[in-house]
Homo-oligomer: A and B are copies of this chain.
Amino acid sequence: MSVFVQEASMKTFEELESKVRSYSRSFPTVFEKSKGYKLWDVDGNEYIDFFAGAGTLNYGHNNDLMKKKLIEYIESDGITHSLDMGTIARKNFLETFNDVILKPRNLEYKVMFPGPTGTNTVESALKLARKVTGRDLVISFTNGFHGMTMGSLAVTGNASKRAGAGTPLTNAVAMPFDNYMDGIDSAAYIEKLLEDSSSGIDIPAAFIVETVQGEGGINAASFEWLRKIEAIAKRFDILLIIDDVQAGNGRTGTFFSFEKAGIDPDIVCLSKSIGGYGMPMAITLFKPEHDIWGAGEHNGTFRGNNMAFITATEAIKNFWANDEFEEEIQEKGEFISDKLADLIVKYPEIQGELRGRGMMKGIACGVDGVAEEVCKEAFKRGLIMETSGPSDEVAKLLPPLVISKDGLAKGIEIMDVSIQEVIRKRGLSA
C-alpha cells in the first residue's frame, strides 16, 4: 500500500490525441495486462479494479472461459462482422438470452441490435417510444446519464456534456429523481404536472429512468418510487424505458436492475457488460406490441459484432443459469456496505453518506473535493476508482462482480489509507 512508481510516458496521448481525452488524465499510466479484478501497467505496478470499465467488466478482465471460446471462434474463422445477417453466433446469442434470461423471468421482449454502444441503444429506445406514441417529448430525470449522441444527450443531465452539443437540446425535460430534494414528492409532482392540462409540460412519449444513477451520484431509486413512475406511465399511456446500461447485467444484484421493484418496463436498454468480455455490444428490448419498426428503419454497421456474441453467450450460460451468482453479488454488496459504513463512521471529517445498491455503491462526501482527492491518492496506491455525481462528490465503487472478498477488502483498505492521507493533507476535522 505504499505509493507506486508510475513513470510511463503519456507523451503520445498528449501530443497526438485530442484534448477531449479524459481517463488517461485521471489514471496517468499505460496499462498492459489485466485479469479478473486486476490490471498491470508498463511499470509493473498491479492495480485493483474498482472501476470495471465503468461497468463493462462485471465478469472481470479476460475471463478464461470466455477467452477460450473467443480464441476458438477466431481460430475457426468464424464470421467476425455481419451487420445483422444471420450467423451462428448471433443465433446462439438470441436463443441463449431468451432461454436463460427472458423466459425464466416471464419477460416477453423482442430483441433489437441497435449498434454496439450504450448511446445506440438509448437512441433506438427514444426513437421507438416517439414512433409508438406519436409524441415528441421525453421525460428524463435530474442527474441522469444516457449518452453523447444528440438524442441521448438531450436526456442527459450533465451541463458540461450538454454544452458539448453546440446547439440546443430539445424535446426532453428533466424531472426530479427520487429523493432529489427534501419536501418534494417527485412522483406526485410529476403526476400533477401531467394531469394539469395547463401545466406546460406535455404528455411525453416516454420516461427514461436509471434505477441507480451511475454517473449522477450512485442515487438508487426506491422500488416504491419506480412503481409509482410505472403507474403514472400506465395512466397516461407513456412508455417506460429503463436504461439498464450500467445498472443491468447483475450490477445491483439481479440480472435486470428492476426485477425486485416488480415493474414491467416497455423498453429496456442494455450494453456495457452484456458482451461479457468488454467488447462493444448493445441490445434494446421491448414488448412485442411496440415492435412497429420497418425493416432497416434503424440500422448500423457494427450491429453484428460476432465476437461479442460469442462471449456474451458464454457469460450468460456461465453466470445466469442458476441463482448462485445473484446470491454472491448480494453477499458482496452487503460486505461493501458494511465496510463503507465503517469508513464513514471512522472518518467523520469527510461527512460521508452511503449510497447505492448491490455492487454499485459509493460514499458521498460532504466536503468539497474530498472524493476526487481520495480517488487520486488511491490510484497512487494501486486502486482504480472514479468519482461520480454533479460535483464529483461521490467516491464510487464499481468492482467486477467476480472480485473476491479478499480483493474487496484490499481495495477498501487502500481507500482507508487514501482517506487518511486526504484528511491529513487538507487538515480536515470532524
Q: Once the chains bind, are A197 and B30 in contact (CB under 8 Å)? A: no
User: How distant is the Cα of A117 from the Cα of B42 in the complex, in angstroms?
Assistant: 29
Q: Once the chains bind, are A87 and B32 in contact (CB under 8 Å)? A: yes
The number of chain A residues touching the other chain, given as a range, is 35 or more
User: How distant is the Cα of A120 from the Cα of B391 in the complex, in angstroms?
Assistant: 27
With A33-B76, A61-B80 given, is the CB distance from A279 to B295 under 8 Å? no
Would you call A105 an interface residue if the criterion is a C-beta within 8 Å of the partner chain's C-beta atoms?
A: no
Contact stretch, chosen from A159-167, A258-266, A370-378:
A159-167
Chain B residues near A155: list those with CB within 8 A: 200
- Chain copies in the assembled complex: 4
Max chain B C-beta neighbours (<10 A), residue from A85, A168, A185, A278: A85
Contact pick for A22, options B120, B127, B299, CB 8 Å: B299
Contact stretch, chosen from A52-60, A323-331, A336-344, A422-430:
A52-60
Q: Which residue on B lies nearest to A302, using beta carbons?
A: B280
Contact pick for A8, options B16, B86, B192, B199, CB 8 Å: B86
Q: How far is the CB of A217 from chain B (nearest CB, A)?
A: 8
Chain B residues near A116: list those with CB within 8 A: 116-117, 280, 302
Q: In terms of DSSP, what is the predominant structure of the interface of chain A? A: loop
Contact pick for A159, options B27, B84, B202, B301, CB 8 Å: B202
Contact stretch, chosen from A141-149, A224-232, A412-420:
A141-149
Q: How far is the CB of A251 from chain B (nearest CB, A)?
A: 13
Would you call A319 an interface residue if the criterion is a C-beta within 8 Å of the partner chain's C-beta atoms?
A: no
State which residues 361-413 of A face B: CB under 8 Å: 389-391
State which residues 71-105 of A face B: CB under 8 Å: 71, 74-88, 90-91, 94-95, 98
Chain B residues near A188: list those with CB within 8 A: 181
User: How distant is the Cα of A95 from the Cα of B30 in the complex, in angstroms?
Assistant: 14
With A39-B79, A77-B33, A198-B158 given, is the CB distance from A166 to B85 under 8 Å? no
Listed by A's residue number, 21 A-B pairs whose Cβ atoms lie within 8 Å are A19-B295, A20-B299, A23-B82, A23-B84, A30-B86, A57-B81, A67-B75, A70-B74, A116-B280, A117-B280, A136-B167, A137-B168, A142-B201, A156-B200, A159-B197, A159-B199, A160-B197, A160-B294, A271-B301, A279-B280, A307-B307
